[in-house]
Amino acid sequence: MPEGDTVHRAAAKLAEALTGTVVTRFDIRVPGSATADLRGETVRSVIPRGKHLLERIGGYTLHSHLKMEGRWDVYPVGGRWRRPAYTARAIVGNARWETVGFDLAMVEVLRTDDEDRIVGHLGPDPLADEWDAVEAVRRVSADSRAAHVALLDQRNVAGFGNVYANEMLFVRGIAPTTPASEIDVTALIDLGARMIRANLPRPERTFTGDTRPGRRFWVYGRDGKACRRCGTLIRAGSLGANATSERNVFWCPRCQAG
């Protein structure tokens, strides 16, 4: 599932292939930006912001969001794609490489000067050079909603997704429904920052320290299985700011008694 670490890895991959090169292919396959043509422009940078990708090309930015299924691949020019062509939403290429965004939930081209319109609302990003832990703690502490919901709100902290929220709350022994304003937010945010930084270079995330299949998570996706700490069966439910934003929640009723 794409979260902040996934997006940062994608940005690094795209930056290595594109930064400083002249665009020779630019194909956006979504309404609204399909007529955009940035061929002949130079790629200045590729920037991750939380779960958003910003490819700055000339005076414009190609903005994309991976959501649940999206990904960016890099191929040699003329190389065979590993995914069906009909799922490609954006293609940016140069003389050597072709980068393809598959199943992207959001793609648009805008002036770089207008980036704040799409990412200005985001909270601090624990993978960014300008990470502000104090501000992240302030924002989450001021949120009276369930801790799980507060962690997923990108206005509080940019980059934590559902996997991280579930695993962070388990490790800290916090019931997902506990109001964020009533927990030790400083310790929780510090834990999350360390988790996402540790996972950044890994091909597969692990929260337990064990990279073997089926051993990487404490609670995520483990409903009905024994808690790795106490043996109690993991439970599952759903939480969200509203009915359309509900996410799967997993917890140990003993280790996260609330």
Token couple for 100: 């393809």
**Domain membership of residue 88 as a residue range:** 4-120
Q: How far, in Å, are 121, 136, 170, 248 from residue 143 at the CA level? A: 16, 11, 19, 20
CATH number of residue 56's parent domain: 3.20.190.10
User: Has 67 been annotated as catalytic?
Assistant: no
* 23 and 84 inside one domain: yes
Query: Do 247 and 146 reside in the same domain of the chain?
Result: yes
* Residues 100 and 178 reside in one and the same domain: no
The number of distinct structural domains making up the chain is 2
Choosing from 120, 144, 174, the residue where a domain stops is 120
**Do 185 and 86 share a structural domain?**
no
Among 63, 89, 120, the domain boundary falls at 120
Considering the domain architecture, whether residues 62 and 111 belong to the same structural domain is answered as yes
My answer on whether 115 and 29 are in the same domain is yes
Kindly report, residue by residue over 152-183, the tens digit of the pLDDT.
999 999 999 999 999 999 999 999 999 999 99
pLDDT along the chain (258 residues), means of 10: 87 98 97 95 97 97 92 96 96 98 95 96 96 98 97 96 97 97 97 97 93 95 97 95 86 93
Q: What is the CATH number of the domain that holds 168?
A: 1.10.8.50
pLDDT at residue 1, rounded to an integer: 60
For residues 231 and 138, state if they share a domain.
yes
Same domain, 116 and 176: no
Active-site position among 3, 55, 98, 167: 3
pLDDT of residue 105: 87
Q: Are residues 60 and 145 in the same domain?
A: no
Q: Which of 89, 205, 222, 247 is catalytic?
A: 247
| 128 within domain boundaries | no
How far are the Cα atoms of 60, 145, 170 from residue 148, in angstroms, in the given order? 36, 8, 11
Select which of 49, 51, 56, 145 is catalytic.
51
Domain boundary among 95, 120, 145: 120
Residue 188 covered by a domain? yes
Residue 184 forms part of a structural domain: yes
The residue annotated as part of the active site, out of 2, 48, 126, 176, is 2
